[in-house]
Amino acid sequence: MIKMLRADFIRLRKSFAFRLSLIVMLALTSAFMFIQATAMDYTVPLSRVIFLPMSMYGLAMSAFVSAFIGTDFSDGFIRNKLLTASCRSHYAISQIIVCFTGCAIVYTVVTAFAAGVGQFFFENDVKITDFIRFFALGFAMSIVTGCLFSVITLICGNKTHAIVLCMGLAFIMLVLAMHTNSILVQTEYKDGALNPKYVDGFRRGLNSILHDINPCGQASQLSSWEVWHPIRMILLDVPLICGLSALGCLLFSKKDIK
């Protein structure tokens, strides 16, 4: 398994899909910062810019992961790799680790780029302790994202189908995050009167959990520099990472590889 991991990390370093996803995210970051710096008639704080590109992170990573793992299936390398692996689970674990590492690298580079360049164009209102806390939450989010799309691609077993399925799911998660966020940002009172759009009780709790368990929902909270339940977010991410990895190994071990 160590040899397989080493080979897959070398492939990641040379991967066109990985490099393209990083370039796209950096280009989006530059575009978002340019818009914020020129289109607003007020001074934009740096805190509203650092994680703003994460709104498109899920779509970019869905394309990268599905293309990266899917190449093994489309080019026929999967058969040779399974012959050299002691068991199928080792192959699945290797792919999951490499892909969530790639997602974490893209997240780290993009965030560092936004924070570094943004200091020259926006009002620096970021405290180092807050940045470390939010960065750690986003790092966990990037690992969950990598695990999710890795498992889907391993189960799918077809590059084209995996790309369509993963990007479709990423879009659905983005729309769901926008919906749950629009519910949760409503205040009980608006302009001195009861807000008819405000929800509480079980419905609010359900939307809050859906927002925290959704990687796109986590990204939206980071982009607004306001994470409502950071502890719960981490407590959800850890079992998600472990559960998705275990599920991927289990289902892939029973998959019929043609």
Measured in degrees and rounded to the nearest 5, phi and psi for residue 133 equal: -65, -45
Q: Please give the Cα distance from 97 to 123 (Å, whole number).
A: 37
Higher pLDDT, 39 or 240: 240
Q: pLDDT tens across 179-234, in order? A: 999 889 888 888 778 878 888 888 888 999 999 999 999 999 998 888 889 999 99
State the pLDDT at residue 258. Answer: 62
Q: Which two tokens stand for residue 14?
A: 């040379």
Q: Give the tokens for residue 145.
A: 């994202």
In angstroms, what CA-CA distances link 167 with 47, 153, 164, 225? 28, 11, 5, 26
Please answer whether residues 155 and 251 qualify as being in contact, where contact means their C-beta atoms are separated by less than 8 angstroms.
yes
Do 212 and 236 form a contact (C-beta atoms < 8 A)? yes
How many alpha carbons lie under 13 Å from residue 72 in its C-beta half-sphere?
A: 24
Amino acid sitting at position 231: I
Cβ-based neighbours of 242, under 8 Å, separated by 6 or more: none
Question: Of the ranges 77-91, 94-108, 194-208, which is most confident?
Answer: 94-108
Residues 179, 210 contacting (CB under 8 angstroms): no
CA atoms within 13 A on the CB side of 43: 8
* Average pLDDT score over residue span 7-36: 92
User: pLDDT digits over 236-245, tens only?
Assistant: 999 999 999 9
Are residues 103 and 145 in contact, defined by beta-carbon separation less than 8 angstroms? yes
pTM, two decimals, is 0.91
Question: For 39-43, 139-143, 189-193, which range has the lowest pLDDT when averaged over its residues?
Answer: 39-43
